Every structure is written in C-alpha cells, then in structure tokens.
Amino acid sequence: MVSSVVGVAILGFIMWVGLPLVIPALVFLLWLGSAELRDMLAKRGIELNMAFLRWGGLLMLVFSYPPLSSQYPGIPWREIALGLVLIGAFSYELLNGANIPRFAYSLMAFLYLPWMLGYFLLLRYHPHDDTLGIWTLTLPLLAAFATDVGAYFIGRFFGRNKLAPTISPGKTVEGSIGGIASSFGVLLIYTSIVRHFYPESAFALLQPLELFVFSLLLSLAAQLGDLTESMLKRYCGVKDSGSFLPGHGGLLDRMDSVLFSVPLAYYLLVIFYPI
C-alpha cells in the first residue's frame, strides 16, 4: 500500500511538471523495463539485443518528441525511427552470426516497450495548453486503474467463469465486466470535471454513449495488456516480471495495462476528437 501511494504521488508530480520530467521518467522505464524483459526471457534461453532495445528505444523517444512534429509537420518521425532501428538491428545480425531468434524477440520487445512508451509523450503534450495535456494523459491511466480495481473486487466476490484459465487462472469474465463498468463510471465523473474547465476540448464532445464506447475500448485494451504480460510471464515460468516494487513485483507488472490503453487513447482522441 505504501509503495502504491508513493508511486501515485511521484507519477502525479512528474505529470504536473511536464516534459522536462516525463522524458527522463520514460527513459528510466525503458532501461528498467528492458532489463526485466531480458531477465524473464533469459529463463527460456532467449537472448535480447539490448543495444537495439535500449538505444533504439531512446531514438524512438527522441523522434516521438511532440515539438519535433509541430516544427516539421507531415513527417512520420516515429516510422522513420523504426526504420532506422530495424536497419541497425539487421546490420548487427549480419555482422554477428545472423541470430534470427534474437532479432525476432528483440523486435517484439521493441514494439512492446519503447514503441508504446512514445505515446505517453504524444498524449502528454498539448501545443496550446500544457495543463490540458495533463488531463488528457490522465484519462487512459484512470481507465486502466479503474479497470484493474473493478475487475479485482468484482472478480473476487462474484467471479465464477474463468476468462483465460491457461494464461491467468485468477481472472474471470465477471471481473472483466466489472472492470469495464468501473472504467465507465470513473471516466464519466472525470470527463464531467474536465468539461467544466475545458468546454471546447475533446472531453466536451464525448456524449454518454460515445464515452461508454470509449471507456469500453480503453478497458479492453488495459485487460489485453494485463493478459499479454501474464502470457509472457507464464511462457518464461516466472511469477513476477521483477522485484523493483516491494510487494508488487516488477515494473512491468505495474504498467502492463497502460502500455496498451495509452496508445489506444492517443488514436481515439487525436484522430476522432482532436484537441
């Protein structure tokens, strides 16, 4: 409980300060998260190209820096970064034994971690109002948190039917539905508050039915992220991704759901409800 409270306080402070702290925080998540992926996959005898994952991931974060797109619009910076990283990784394998499994798993890890982390930058940045960027990034984080809490309690007291017994035996269909309902309730309150301060923002455009679909998709994305990491841990034969957080396992155990909900929120908001 203490570590959770401290974690929420640190996260809130980082988001309030903005990009000067968000960027170092994402680099930290990249470095530690990649180490957890390396250690987990090592249990199966799988090697990762850490230079590809970390330094390529750093390049991805740089190319995800929002002012870059604002200064030079129309250029697909993230796709350029991905292409450069792939060329570098292919070149490395050509010079070091052409270990195709290493390349394949490293690419999977790259798309799972640094590619997803870049969306945190994109969603946090707002060209005209920095505070609105805080509210916007908080949206998928709240949806994921509400989903986790709702799924846990509803599943614990009412869960009967297993959702994915071979991957995560503790998760139930009832818990999944509870997570969706919890996400909708929390986002309904949250968007009402934000709408009061920003009546012209995307939040003001979301009608109740649209908000339900929005929260449904974010909740399902959060649950998919959770199940994805559970599948990875089961494949590697480990209980936790690491031991970074006392009583809560590793870093990836805490951020698995938001790795999927944040990118989805970016596309839903920016494409359908530009702010």
Instruction: Specify if 133 maps to a domain.
Output: yes
Q: Taking the chain, what is the end-to-end CA distance rounded to the nearest angstrom? A: 35
Q: Which of 108, 125, 142 is the last residue of a domain?
A: 125
Contact between 64 and 77 under an 8 Å Cβ cutoff? The reply is yes
**Shared domain check, 240 and 135:** yes
| Tokens 């003001």 belong to residue | 204
Cα angle 111, 112, 114 (rounded to 5 degrees) comes to: 70
Q: pLDDT per position in the chain (275 positions), as tens?
A: 444 445 556 766 777 777 778 888 899 999 999 999 999 999 999 999 999 999 999 999 999 988 787 788 788 999 999 999 999 998 988 888 888 999 999 999 999 999 999 999 888 887 666 677 888 888 999 999 999 999 999 999 988 899 988 888 889 999 999 999 999 999 999 989 888 888 877 777 778 898 999 999 999 999 999 999 999 999 999 988 888 776 678 889 888 899 999 999 999 887 776 65
Cα gap 99→65, rounded to integer Å: 32
Nearest CA to 119 out of 274, 273, 258, 275 is that of 258
Stated pTM of the model: 0.89
Q: Which of 92, 125, 158 is the last residue of a domain?
A: 125
Q: Where are the alpha helices (DSSP H) in the chain?
A: 2-17, 19-42, 50-63, 66-71, 77-95, 100-112, 114-124, 130-158, 173-197, 202-205, 208-236, 251-255, 258-267
Contact between 46 and 105 under an 8 Å Cβ cutoff? The reply is yes
**Shared domain check, 118 and 131:** no
HSE toward the beta carbon, residue 102, CA cutoff 13 A: 16
**Shared domain check, 186 and 149:** yes
Q: For residue 168, what are the β-bridge partners? A: 164
**Shared domain check, 183 and 116:** no
| Tokens 């508050």 belong to residue | 193
HSE toward the beta carbon, residue 267, CA cutoff 13 A: 8
Cα gap 222→266, rounded to integer Å: 14
**Shared domain check, 108 and 144:** no
245 DSSP assignment:
B
Please give the tally of structural domains in the chain. 2
- Alpha carbon 164 to chain centroid, angstroms: 21
Q: Which amino acid is at 252?
A: L
| Tokens 């330094």 belong to residue | 55
